[in-house]
Chains A and B, each alone.
Chain A
């Protein structure tokens, strides 16, 4: 007979840890206070492995794996910090900063921004790449919220929270490659869309791309912790 709970043991950054078989490396690392940077991951939402910041090295594999979707395995040896990984993480952040118009000094989420905090945690001091400075629109048609495409990093948290938690699926991604864009409904203005005005997308947005009109200056803390709480309540645990 197989045991009810399958427990695995593995090594993360030289520390022996134990985990449930269905856990990801990211979950286990955070339980053990090992920090792995993430942007697209959010506790309580499905994982897409898109931002590539949580890439880790696994012993005996030439490939890097995103910790957010990497399931634990018995005897696995994971390295979350190395010069190579740091270089990759910094370059990915550089790519994000150069992609659109991230100007912290005029952003409502300055000091509450996950992109900014991640860049600081990874010791990013400057961007080597030329800024692409695209001219992108701002949608202020919603009576409560604003969507500023210039600050969007396409993490798709808004898409997932709207679909998975709110159940409305107002947000989705349009276009391909560098022209990708999050849109409401079939690119209707946000205010005219089927949006329920719940504000979940605003609170999970890691940057100032989605913000509340009532917040002024640069004082816009976000509270994405409601997602796992809601999930827990719904599951009746």
Chain B
């Protein structure tokens, strides 16, 4: 493969699509598939054949607005249709070339305009299983440029300059991590892509793997070249069958086109990727537990240091990055680090994909530039709280994060701002809660999650989360005393500071953040046996008193 050949493939792919008057992109992400978008696609294909219009129906990845699925995007008019069903196929095909079908249009311009797509730039625009469509949208140019025009050190410098930070939650500078692995000797090294997305309500990585898997493969290949690795693993949860099948197909395609294997892009660089499936353990998202799992051991973390960059998979230097981090690599190299660092805030560059869920009108996937306020994300892009309820809190960072109340809605989203407010960026789950949610119950839910997902290795996490869960249950049931609350706060401190890995260290965060902003709800449960949201079992035991709600 040379850059001329790459260009030829891109041109051929574009020409193939330009011969059609219209492209009908049908979302075949997991969300829309659950609404039978496959049947919609079949119906559309049939209607197109009947109508004789010069039109192409294809499957694409996620278009973001999962709430309005199944989604259909008409190119080149860029008309978006939502809630499309089989029965609508004929009407939709007939409308092509004329006035758009008013009835099915999404009318959510705010949702799409407020976003800036870098990671998701191809999602909804290409068939994820066809590598040529990816190449047609500048795919593999970054790898070609890196291999033929840059030395590994330059690649790392470019990534460092872009200011990209790890998108898995920790926010460690990506360039720095790559540099550490690159400097760790000359022997065997590995690159691992962490796709063990386990936070409740988060589906960014799944969507990227389903919609644009080649982008992740290209990012990994660039990383492997930069750090000197010859072997890569993508660790995906087995709960993502569609992502796995698309990734498997994409790896085969990438090998066929010579972007994996030996003599990649006509150079001496050799690299290949294998898939490893997780067996449903949240803790395997922790890098040392993930490595143990790939090695075939029990998925539990080990103390760091040594960090994987020095001693990782089978004792070799290993680079581990999240799916979204790898998805950012190709655009950075293609457009230059200055372009990337011009987006975002002082210390958090670029964009971040969030999975908007909970009590919000536009459930789905959004990609926004760093620095946007929570209010803009929730009320403008997300469309606010449905059914006349009022906003209460937004939970970011999954079970490791925290709940932020209304007074923090003008907080701009960046790694540091979220941490100083008592939450964290996390991998990108964003759960919106309204006045029907009890914050003690929410804390209890996340504690139960951490308790069942604890690996059981270290004492504070194994026994501490169980004790904290029992205490929270006691509070929810209206049977707790102030001494129980003090004990809970003390346990939060102990578990946070003494646990072995990130799971235990951050497990108290949902409790701590709800205590910080919603302590009155805890006190109401204890003093008045009253749950203002009416969720907890104690609600019926004592009537609400006026001075409590005031």
Query: Closest residue to B455 on the A side, CB-wise?
Result: A176
A interface residues (Cβ-Cβ under 8 A, vs B)? 48-52, 55, 64, 66, 69, 71, 87-88, 91-92, 95-96, 98-99, 128-130, 132, 153-154, 172-173, 175-180
Query: Closest residue to B501 on the A side, CB-wise?
Result: A49
11 sampled A-B residue pairs with Cβ under 8 A: A48-B457, A51-B458, A52-B458, A88-B494, A91-B494, A92-B460, A95-B459, A176-B455, A177-B462, A178-B456, A180-B456
B interface residues (Cβ-Cβ under 8 A, vs A)? 281, 298, 302-303, 305, 451-460, 462-467, 470, 487, 490-491, 494, 497-500
**From DSSP, what is the main secondary structure of chain B's interface residues?**
helix
- Please determine whether A154 and B494 come into contact, CB atoms closer than 8 angstroms: no
In the assembly, what is the distance between CA of A177 and CA of B453, in Å?
6
In the assembly, what is the distance between CA of A87 and CA of B490, in Å?
10
- Please determine whether B494 and A178 come into contact, CB atoms closer than 8 angstroms: no
Cβ-neighbour of B303 out of A49, A173, A177 (below 8 A): A49
For B453, the chain A residues whose CB sits under 8 A away are 176-177
For A48, the chain B residues whose CB sits under 8 A away are 302-303, 457
In the assembly, what is the distance between CA of A230 and CA of B302, in Å?
26
- Please determine whether A173 and B456 come into contact, CB atoms closer than 8 angstroms: yes
- Please determine whether B298 and A132 come into contact, CB atoms closer than 8 angstroms: no
In the assembly, what is the distance between CA of A179 and CA of B298, in Å?
15
For B465, the chain A residues whose CB sits under 8 A away are 177-178
For B466, the chain A residues whose CB sits under 8 A away are 99, 132, 177-178
Closest beta carbon of chain A to B395's beta carbon, Å: 22
Closest beta carbon of chain A to B469's beta carbon, Å: 9
In the assembly, what is the distance between CA of A41 and CA of B281, in Å?
26
For A71, the chain B residues whose CB sits under 8 A away are 305
| Given A91-B490, A177-B452, A55-B302 contact (CB < 8 Å) | no
Query: Closest residue to B505 on the A side, CB-wise?
Result: A63
For B456, the chain A residues whose CB sits under 8 A away are 154, 173, 175-180
Closest beta carbon of chain A to B543's beta carbon, Å: 29
In the assembly, what is the distance between CA of A130 and CA of B491, in Å?
13
Which of A52, A129, A132 counts the most B-chain CB atoms under 10 A from its CB? A52
For A52, the chain B residues whose CB sits under 8 A away are 458-460, 498-500
Cβ-neighbour of A69 out of B281, B303, B459, B487 (below 8 A): B303
Cβ-neighbour of B467 out of A98, A154, A179 (below 8 A): A98
The 7 closest A-B pairs by CB, nearest first: A180-B456, A177-B454, A49-B303, A95-B463, A178-B466, A99-B463, A91-B494
| Given A49-B303, A129-B487, A177-B462, A64-B497 contact (CB < 8 Å) | yes
In the assembly, what is the distance between CA of A176 and CA of B452, in Å?
7
For B303, the chain A residues whose CB sits under 8 A away are 48-49, 66, 69
Query: Closest residue to A39 on the B side, CB-wise?
Result: B459
Which of A55, A129, A172, A178 counts the most B-chain CB atoms under 10 A from its CB? A178
Closest beta carbon of chain B to A153's beta carbon, Å: 8
For B459, the chain A residues whose CB sits under 8 A away are 50-52, 92, 95-96, 99, 153-154
| Given A52-B498, A64-B497, A91-B490, A176-B460 contact (CB < 8 Å) | no
